[in-house]
Amino acid sequence: WVKSQLPLATCQCALGQVCGQPALNTRIIGGEEAPPGSWPWQVSIHSFGRICGGSLINDQWVLTAAHCVKCNPAGLKVYLGRQSQEGSNPNEVVRRVSWIISHPDYYFGPDNDIALLKLFTPVNFTSYISPVCLAASNSTFYSGVKSWVTGWGETGVFDPLPSPGNLLEVEAQIVGSGQCRCDYSEIAGDIISDNVICAGFREGGKGPCYGDHGGPLVSKQGDRWIQAGIVSVGIGCAKPFFPAVYARVSQYNNWINSHITRNQPGFIHFSSNKTDSDLNVNCTAPTSDPITVNISEGTIH
C-alpha cells in the first residue's frame, strides 16, 4: 500500500497520533542507502557546511546533540526532507534556527548530550517530512532489541572514508548498560551512566561515525518508530566490542516538555520483549588486539 503524498495534519491532533509513522517506509530496513521518505524525521544541520544530524519532533522543534551546536544560532540552518547532500532534493525545505537550548548539565561526553533547536517558522508535514515519536520515561530497551541509525556521516568501517551523498541506514542491536559498562570499563567506564544507551554489534563494522552525531537511534513498536537515543560518542568508528554510545531520550521527557509548551512531541512508552541482561552480566576482557583509544563524537557503515 502507498499513502497519499498530500500534506498530513500538523496541529489539529496530538503528535502522539501522527508521530513515528513514515508513509513511505513499508519494508524491512538494514545496512544500505535509504529510499526517499524512509526516515522523514531525519534532518541535516548546517553551519557553514554540514555538521550534524538531528530529528524533527514536532512542526517547529528539532532534537540533536548538545556537542553539535553552540549558543549562537546565527548561520545555523536545518534541512528537512533531504535525501542527498550532493544532488537535487525536490522534497526538501530549509529553515533557519531561532533558538538553541542545550541541556544545562552538559559538559563533555554522552551524559546530558542533548539539545533542542527551534525553527524560525513551522513546517508542514508531508510524506517526506514528519516527526518521530520519543521514548517515554521508564521505557525499557534491553540487549538485543533491534534499532536503526541513519545519517550522512563517513563510511569507513575502521578508518573514516568520505561521507556518502545519500542518506544511509544501518541496523544495530541495543547493548544493555551492564554489558556496555563492562566494554568501556578499562578506558572510560564512567561515561556509561543511566543517561545513556548503547547499541552496536560485538563484531563491529556497523554503526555511526563522524558526521552522524546528533542523529536518531530508533526502534519500532507496532506501527510506530520511537527514538531511543541521540548519537553522541564512541571509540573510533564501529570498533569491535565497543558499541556506540547515545544520549538516552527517555531520561529527558520532562526537560523537553519544559521548553516545548505548544504542540508537545509524542512520547510513547517502549516496552522490550527481551530479558533484562543487566541482571546477569559477567565482565570479561574482549579477545581483540589493543586499540588506540579515541573517544569521538559519533557514518553509517
Q: What is the pLDDT of residues 25-37, one digit of tens each?
A: 755 454 578 889 9
Q: What is the pLDDT of residues 195-239, one digit of tens each?
A: 999 999 887 777 787 778 999 999 999 999 999 999 998 776 778
Nearest to 74 by CA among 52, 96, 55, 53: 96
Distance separating alpha carbons of residues 203 and 268, to the nearest angstrom: 31
Distance separating alpha carbons of residues 241 and 77, to the nearest angstrom: 36
Distances (CA, A) of 210 to 61, 119, 159, 191, 295: 24, 25, 10, 19, 11
Average pLDDT over residues 13-24: 78
Distance separating alpha carbons of residues 278 and 91, to the nearest angstrom: 43
Q: Which residue has the higher pLDDT, 188 or 269?
A: 269
Nearest to 117 by CA among 134, 133, 102: 102
Read off the C-alpha cell for 61. Answer: 522543534
Q: 300 near 168, Cβ under 8 Å? A: yes
At CB < 8 A and 24+ separation, what contacts does 28-32 make?
Answer: 29/148, 29/169, 29/171, 30/148, 30/169, 30/170, 30/171, 31/169, 31/170, 31/171, 31/206, 31/301, 32/168, 32/169
Average pLDDT over residues 14-40: 77
Beta strands 146-151; 168-175: pairing state: antiparallel
- Residue 63, CA atoms < 13 Å, CB-side half-sphere: 37
Average pLDDT over residues 43-68: 93
pLDDT at residue 186 tops 90: no
Q: Binning pLDDT at 50, 70 and 90, where does residue 11 land?
A: very low
- Please report, rounded to a whole number, the percentage of residues in the chain having pLDDT higher than 70: 81
Nearest to 99 by CA among 78, 119, 69: 119
Helix (H) or strand (E) holding 199: strand 196-200
Question: Can you state the percent helix, strand and coil of the chain, rounding each to 5?
Answer: 10, 30, 55
Q: What is the phi/psi pair of residue 162, to 5°?
A: -55, 150
In the chain the domains, ranked by start, together with CATH numbers, are 32-265 (2.40.10.10)
